[in-house]
Amino acid sequence: MTGRKLITDTQNTWCPGCGNFSIQHTLKNILEDLEKEGKSLDDIVLVSGIGCHAKIADYLNINSFYSLHGRTIPVATGIKLANPDLTVICCSGDGDSYAEGLDHLIFAAKRNIDITVIIHNNRVYGLTTGQYTPTSPLGFKGKSTPLGTAEYPFNPLELMLASGATYVSRGYSKQMPLLKDVLRRGILHRGFAFIDVLQICASFFPLADYYTPRVYDLVGHDPSDFETACKKAREWDYNSDANIALGTFYEKALPTFDERMKGPVVSPAERERALASLLASRM
Amino acid sequence: MHDISVLIGGRAGDGINSAGAIVAQLFNQLGYRIYMYFDYPSLIRGGHNFTIIRAAEMDIGACRDHVDFVLALNRETVERHRGMFAPDTVIISNADLVKDAGTGIPVGAILKQEDAPAIMGNSAIIGGFAKAAGIDWKNLESVFRSHIPKGTEKNLAVARRAYDQVDTKRSVERGAHPPLPLMSGNESVGFGLILGGLEAYVSYPMTPSSGILHFLAEQKEKFGLTVVHPENEIAVILMALGFAYAGKKSAVGTSGGGFCLITEGLSLAGMAEIPLVLAISQRTGPSTGLPTYTGQSELRFILHAGQGEFPRLIVAPGDTRESVYWSAVAMKMAWEYQIPAFILVDKTLSEGTYSTDLASLPGGPPAPAVLSQWDNQLPYKRYANTSGGVSPLAFPGMKDAVVKVNSYVHEEDGITSEDGDVTVRMTQKRMYKEEQIRRIMQEYPAVGLGGIPDAKTALVSWGSTKGVCSEVALRLGLRGVRPIVLTPFPEEQMKRALTGVQRIIFVEENATAQLAGIAAAYGIHADDTILRYDGRPFTFEELLGRVEEVVK
C-alpha cells in the first residue's frame, strides 16, 4: 500500500445526481482492492475521450491520457502494445465510442486487445447540452432534433458480440454492487472487455424511473454460451419497452492481440549488426 | 560512355521493377552511381510500367530525356517511348512479342529449352542486354547470385542462353567507384528511423508511402519493432501517441489523403507535447489525384495542419543519403523537444532507388536522443515548467509517477484548466521550444548547397528535385540552394547561402510555388519560378531548357 489518495483535489463539476459519480466511486473502490491484492497503481492507465465522462481523468489520481472525442481506444491499444504489463482502462461515452469512434470500438473487439472499455452510456450528449446519441430511442427530442430523431438506436451489446468482444456485460449506475462486479470482472479479464453502463444523466435524460423497475440481474446464465448471450442481449433493444438484464452476458478466454503481436527483444548491438548486414545486402 | 540510361518497359505484373533492380546492381558493380525511376499506373495487372536506370560517374537523382538501351518486354514499350530513342539506342526485346525492333531474344524458346517458368523470362532479356552492353558474364553471374536468391541456377542458365546469342553493340566501360548500397527512398526513411531509435511503426497503406510500411514490417523481427496496420489513419496517429506516452519511439507514415485524417491527432500531439515522427510522401493532388505520380503540393498543408498553434519540425531530404540522416534527426528532435517532427518526401524519392553513401553523412549519423529525465522528485508533473520549456519525461509504470497527459489546456500536473493565465503560460512554454529548435537547427546542415558556390544566379528548390537542380546548376554555372529544414525556416543559413546572389529562380513541382511564398515572408523573393505539376519529375533536359529560357 502506497497510501496514495485516489481522488485528486480538482473541483468536481458533474451535475448533482449524475451517474458518473457512481462509476468513479466504483472504479476507485476496485483500484483500492486491486492494490490490496498486490497490484501496483503505477501499472494502471486510464484513457478517456471527451465528454462529461472524460472528466474522470482529472478526478482519479492515476496515470491518464485525456484524449480526443472518440479516440480513447486507439490510444489505449498503443499503450498496451507498448507495455503489455500495464492494465489499460478506457472510460468512454456513448457519443464518444458509439458515434465519433465506432470504428475503433469494433476493431478493438475484433483484435481482442487486452484493454477494458467502460461506456458511460447516458444516451444523450451532456457536455454539448442535450443532443441525441446512437443509443437514444427513436423520436428522442434533443437540441439537434427538436421534432424527434428519425432513426433507431443500435444495440451496443449485440454489436460487440458480433464483433468478437470476449467479455460483454451491462451495468447500471444506480446498482453499485453489480456495477462493481462487472467492472472488476472486465478489468481482470484477459482480452477485450466491454461494459455498457446505463448512466443517469440528471440534466438532459433522467431515466432512473424508467430503468429501475425494469432492470434485473442475470442469474443462472452461462456466460460461456454465445447463443444465449446473443438472445439475452436482444431482449431489450434500447428502444422498445422490455426488461433490461444486467450482469455478464458473455466471457471467453482467447489469445489476445498484444500476445500475438509480441516480437523478439533486440539489443542495440544486434540492431547495429542488422543495419550493417542490411546495407551489405543492398550492394 | 559514362552516363548511361536504360529503359525497361512492359505490362504491370511483368516484374519491371525487379528487372530494374538487377540492371541497377549490374551498373553498381561496374563502378557507377545509380538512380532508378519507376513509373506505373494505379492498377495491378495490365497497363504500362517502365523503369529508367541511370548510371553515371557523379551522384545523380534525375533522368535524361533519352535512353541508350531499351529492354522491351512488350510492343508498347517501343511505341510509347520512341521519342526517347537516339539513332544509337540499342533495343533488346522479347522476340515473341516485339517484331522488327532491335535485337530480339526468343524468350519462349529459351524458357522451353531450360524448362523454366515464364517469370524467368526477364532473366533472358537481362542476359541479352548484358552481352549487348559488353558486360562480362562474370559480373552478371555475381549480381544474379547476390540478388536472386530463388532459382539462381535456372535463372543463370536462362540468362546465359540469351547472352550467348547476342553480339555486343555498345560497350559500357567500367566506372571508377566502389559499389554502394542501393536503397529506395522509402527504405531510407525506414532505415533512418531505425537509426534514430524507432520501436514502433503505425501506418495504413497509402501510395507512395506504403513502401516504408512494407520495409519495416519485413524487417521488424531483426530490429525488434512493433509494426501495426490499423483500421484507418485516425487510429494510426492515436496508436502512435499511445506508444510514445508509454515510452516507445514511434512513427507513422502516409500520403496527403491519409494525413487529412491525421491532423486531428497531430494537434493533440502538439498540445499534449507527445513526441512523434510523421513520414509524409506526397503524390499528385488534390484528393485522390494521381496516386502513383509525384508532386510537391503538400508543403503549406503540413506547415499549417492542425488546429491551434504549436511547434513542429519539417525536414525535406533530397535523396536517400539525406533521408537516412534526417529521419534519424527527426526522431531525435521529436524526443528531445517533445514535438511532432515531419519527414516530407514525395513519390520520386520514395519509390526511386539511389546509390546511398552513408559513410559521407554530414558529421556522421546523429547521436541518439537525450531525453529530459525526471529526477524522481514527487509529485511528478508531466508539464513541469523548466527554463527551456521541455518538461522531464516519465512513463506509466515508473514508481509513483502519476503521468497525466491532456488534450485540454492543462496545469503542470496535466489536469485540465480553463484559466487565462495558465493558457498563456502553457502556450509560451510550447512556443519557447520552437525558439530552441530554430537555434539548434543552426548547428545542422539545414540548407543544401550545389552548383557553383559564388554564382550570381541561384536555383532554389526543395526535396527530390535536388538531383535535377544540382545537375542543371552545374551545367549552367548557377548556384544551387535548397532548404532541407523547412520549419522552423532556416532564415540565417538561407541568407548566407544566397549572399551575393542577384537573381533567384525557384524550381518546384507544384502550381503555386509554395516554397517561394514561404521564403518571401523572410525577404527572399523569387525573380522567376519554374513549376511542373503533371505528376512527372523534371528531366535534366527539360529543366535545363526552362532555366535557359529564363536566364537568357
Q: Given A104, A263, A280, which is nearest B220 (Cβ)?
A: A263
- Check residue B361 and give its pLDDT: 81
- Check residue A256 and give its pLDDT: 98
Residue A1 pLDDT > 70: no
Question: pTM score > 0.80 for this model?
Answer: yes
**Cα(B350)–Cα(B323) distance, integer angstroms:** 10
Q: Do B402 and A63 touch (CB under 8 A)?
A: yes
Question: A 73-102 residues with CB below 8 A of B?
Answer: 74-83, 85-86
Residue A247 sits at φ, ψ, to 5 deg, of 125, -165
Contact of A1 with chain B, judged by CB distance below 8 Å, is answered with no
- Check residue B110 and give its pLDDT: 98
Contacts of B356 in chain A (CB under 8 A): 282
Q: B387-391, long-range: CB within 8 Å, 24+ apart, which pairs?
A: B388/B432, B388/B433, B388/B436, B389/B428, B389/B429, B389/B430, B389/B431, B389/B432, B389/B433, B389/B436, B390/B336, B390/B337, B390/B338, B390/B433, B390/B436, B391/B273, B391/B338
* ipTM of the modeled complex: 0.98
Q: What's the pLDDT tens digit per position in B261-302?
A: 999 999 999 999 999 999 999 999 999 999 999 999 999 999
Q: Do A42 and B405 touch (CB under 8 A)?
A: no
Residue B177 pLDDT > 90: yes
Q: Do A66 and B414 touch (CB under 8 A)?
A: yes
Question: A 95-154 residues with CB below 8 A of B?
Answer: 103-104, 107
In angstroms, the Cα distances linking B228 to A7, A104, B155, B220 are 35, 14, 36, 11
Task: Mention every residue, 6+ apart, whose C-beta is less than 8 A from residue B200.
Answer: A78, A81, A82, B225, B226, B227, B228, B240, B243, B248, B249, B250, B251
Domain range annotation of chain A: 20-281
Closest residue on chain A to B245 (Cα): A79
Q: Do B235 and A62 touch (CB under 8 A)?
A: no
Determine the distance in angstroms separating the CA of B253 from the nearest CA of chain A, rounded to an integer. 16
Contact of A6 with chain B, judged by CB distance below 8 Å, is answered with no
- pLDDT classification of A2: cutoffs 50, 70, 90: low
Contacts of B242 in chain A (CB under 8 A): 47, 65, 74-82
Q: Do A266 and B223 touch (CB under 8 A)?
A: yes
Domains (range + CATH), chain B: 3-165 (3.40.920.10), 182-360 (3.40.50.970), 447-551 (3.40.50.920)
Counting residues of chain B whose pLDDT is more than 90, the rounded percentage is 95
Q: Are A95 and A51 in contact (CB under 8 A)?
A: yes
Q: Given B228, B241, B397, which is nearest A43 (Cβ)?
A: B397
- Check residue B550 and give its pLDDT: 96
Q: Are B1 and B170 in contact (CB under 8 A)?
A: yes
- Measure CA B167 to chain center: 38
Determine the distance in angstroms separating the CA of B219 from the nearest CA of chain A, rounded to an integer. 9
Contacts of A107 in chain B (CB under 8 A): 230-231, 235
Q: Do B200 and A43 touch (CB under 8 A)?
A: no
- Based on the number of CB atoms within 10 Å of its own CB, is A5 exposed (0-12), middle (13-18) or buried (19 or more)? exposed
Contact of A52 with chain B, judged by CB distance below 8 Å, is answered with no
Closest residue on chain B to A39 (Cα): B397
pLDDT, mean of residues A128-156: 96
Q: What's the pLDDT tens digit per position in B491-509?
A: 999 999 999 999 999 999 9
Residue A206 pLDDT > 70: yes
Q: What's the pLDDT tens digit per position in B152-172?
A: 999 999 999 999 999 999 999
Q: Do A271 and B28 touch (CB under 8 A)?
A: no
- Check residue B1 and give its pLDDT: 57
- Check residue B162 and give its pLDDT: 98
Could you give the angle at the alpha carbon of B278 between the alpha carbons of B276 and B280, nearest 5°?
A: 175
Determine the distance in angstroms separating the CA of A90 from the nearest CA of chain B, rounded to an integer. 12
- Check residue B360 and give its pLDDT: 84
Contacts of B405 in chain A (CB under 8 A): 64-66
Which stretch of DSSP H or E encloses residue B55? Answer: strand B46-56
Residue B381 pLDDT > 80: yes
Q: Given B241, B248, B402, which is nearest A61 (Cβ)?
A: B402
Arithmetic mean of pLDDT over chain B: 96
**Cα(B185)–Cα(B280) distance, integer angstroms:** 12
Residue whose C-alpha cell is 521541455? B390
- Check residue B455 and give its pLDDT: 98
Return the C-alpha cell found at B157: 542458365
Contacts of B179 in chain A (CB under 8 A): 283
Residue A94 pLDDT > 70: yes
Q: Given B232, B242, B407, which is nearest A82 (Cβ)?
A: B242
Contact of A12 with chain B, judged by CB distance below 8 Å, is answered with no
Longest dimension (CA), chain A: 75
pLDDT, mean of residues B420-425: 98
Q: What's the pLDDT tens digit per position in B217-228?
A: 999 999 999 999
Residue A116 pLDDT > 80: yes
Provide Rg for chain B, Cα atoms: 25
Determine the distance in angstroms separating the CA of B231 from the nearest CA of chain A, rounded to an integer. 7
Q: Which residue from B372, B203, B201, B240 is spatially nearest to A67, judged by alpha carbons?
A: B240
Q: Do A68 and B265 touch (CB under 8 A)?
A: yes
Determine the distance in angstroms separating the CA of A245 from the nearest CA of chain B, rounded to an integer. 32
Q: What CATH number labels A20-281? A: 3.40.50.970
Return the C-alpha cell found at B398: 515508473
Task: Mention every residue, 6+ apart, whose C-beta is less than 8 A from residue A11.
Answer: none
Q: Which residue from B528, B383, B546 is spatially nearest to B472, judged by alpha carbons?
A: B546
Contact of A13 with chain B, judged by CB distance below 8 Å, is answered with no
Residue B267 sits at φ, ψ, to 5 deg, of -65, -35
Q: Are B246 and B393 in contact (CB under 8 A)?
A: no
Q: Do A71 and B248 touch (CB under 8 A)?
A: no
